[in-house]
Structure 1
Amino acid sequence: MAAEGEQQLQTNGHAKPAEESTNSIQSKELRRKKRKKFLVYVALFTLFQIAVILFSSFYIMKVRTPIFHVRSATFDHVEYKNAENASFDIRMNVELGVKNTNFGPYKYRNSTVYFFYNDVSIGEAFVSQGKAGFKSTKKCNLLVNLSSKDVLPKDSQLRNDLSSGTLILTSKSKLEGKVELIFVIKKKKSTEMNCTITIGLADKVVQDIDCD
């Protein structure tokens, strides 16, 4: 009996250290897996942060030039003659647009829109200061009188255009202002208008508006 007890004691003595060794290995493996998961989460979070910063830098925080253009036009009065002393007198209602594609408002100062026929000034309209909200278009309506009084009365091009019933005008202007981002960053930005307006004299309608 004494021999059996001694043998059992020896067996249990060897089994206990073996069991503790197995538990230790499993514990270390578990801690290693947890550290690995933690490092993966940290790496993913870091990549996410970098992606957000890059997206903000290249898209949200990028300042784009607003678009200043003629949207449409109608006429209160159209009078012209294509005789030897060709001339025209037009009163036009113009709708302008300031398209702002930035993630912040665009505040612009007073400006003037000039209208030309064959590079000769025929009229102008005043644009008061305003603000185009972020990702939106600010519209404004102007009344402008267009007259050929400064165009040579015997201009053959003018006679030909009036005879054809089509008058091509251009509008030019420059708008200066600032884009405001996240209520703190303000960056100066100017935009220029350069539009071609084709008028059908007989029907008194705008046939086409093309802006650069």
Structure 2
Amino acid sequence: MAEKMNQQVHPFAQVNKQPRSDEESGTLTSDQELRRKKRIKLAIYIAAFAVFQTIVILVFALTVMRVKTPEVRLGTDVTFQNFKTGTQASPSFDLSFTTQVGVKNSNFGPYKFDSTIATFMYEGVTVGQVTIPKGKAGLRSTKKVTVTVNVNSNALQSTTSLGSELGAGVLTLNSQAKLSGKVELMFVMKKKKSAEMNCTMAIEVSTKAVQSMNCE
């Protein structure tokens, strides 16, 4: 009996509780779902960035890198130094005036053009010419070149139309020119562009002033 009492009593060892298989499955599923959502967000961000980059490139190509043809126009500010006209019965003209030729460049790069000749005509006949010197129109700006023009009716074979115009008090002249040059973009790309001028100037004889100026 004593021998039994002397025996040491050992408590039962606590058994470690193992997670159930359904709990493990639930944890794994939650982690997988979280990773899946992160991958979806990352894919959305990448797609949005790609779309943004595409839009930027398209806008850049359609605006900055697009080369437009410069415009050449005869200025409306005309100052006459010499103004001689005949009568309806004896029609003639001999004029000298100063004006400006404007070269408008709408590109995101300078337009360098060579010198050229501007021709002034009456009824298709050349009555005067002037040289437009070479120059450069800066990016998105207008280069104005001052020229002095001399025109006369000496080359006209017939003055019938001129007599009618002088009788009506208006002298009509047409001016044409073609500029050849290059547009430079981003300091590396050069594109050849030609600009043409075709203007019709109506001069009022009585006031010795330009009545109208139409350019195409």
TM-score (norm 1): 0.89
Q: Aligned residue for 1:27?
A: 31
Q: Aligned residue for 1:145?
A: 150
Matched, 1:40 2:44: yes
Which digits, 9 at most, give the CA deviation of each residue in 1:46-98, with x for residues without a partner?
11121122222233212111101112222222111114331111111111111
Contact map agreement 1:74 1:93 (CA 8 A) in 2:
yes
Matched, 1:203 2:207: yes
Q: Number of residue pairs matched?
A: 204
Which digits, 9 at most, give the CA deviation of each residue in 1:154-209, with x for residues without a partner?
51110111111101110001100001111100011111111111111111111111
Q: Aligned residue for 2:79?
A: 74
SS at 1:187's partner residue? strand
Q: Aligned residue for 1:123?
A: 128
* Identity value in percent: 41
Matches within 5 A, 1:96-107: 96-107=101-112
Instruction: Identify unmatched segments of 5+ residues in structure 2.
Output: 1-10
Instruction: Identify unmatched segments of 5+ residues in structure 1.
Output: none
SS at 2:63's partner residue? helix
Structure label with greater radius of gyration = 2
Whichever residue aligns with residue 29 of structure 1, its letter is E
Contact map agreement 1:74 1:206 (CA 8 A) in 2:
no
Whichever residue aligns with residue 99 of structure 1, its letter is K
Q: Aligned residue for 1:164?
A: 168
| Larger helix share, 1 or 2 | 1
Deviates more, 1:17-26 or 1:79-88: 17-26
Deviates more, 1:173-182 or 1:79-88: 79-88
Whichever residue aligns with residue 67 of structure 2, its letter is V
Whichever residue aligns with residue 180 of structure 1, its letter is E
Contact map agreement 2:118 2:132 (CA 8 A) in 1:
yes
Whichever residue aligns with residue 192 of structure 2, its letter is K
TM-score (norm 2): 0.87
How well do the aligned residues superpose, as a CA RMSD in angstroms? 1.9
Q: Aligned residue for 2:5?
A: none
SS at 1:60's partner residue? coil
Looking at structure 2, the residues matched to 134 and 23 of structure 1 have their Cα atoms a distance apart, in angstroms, of 64
Contact map agreement 1:161 1:167 (CA 8 A) in 2:
yes
Which stretches of structure 1, 4 residues or more, deviate above 4 A after TM superposition? 17-20
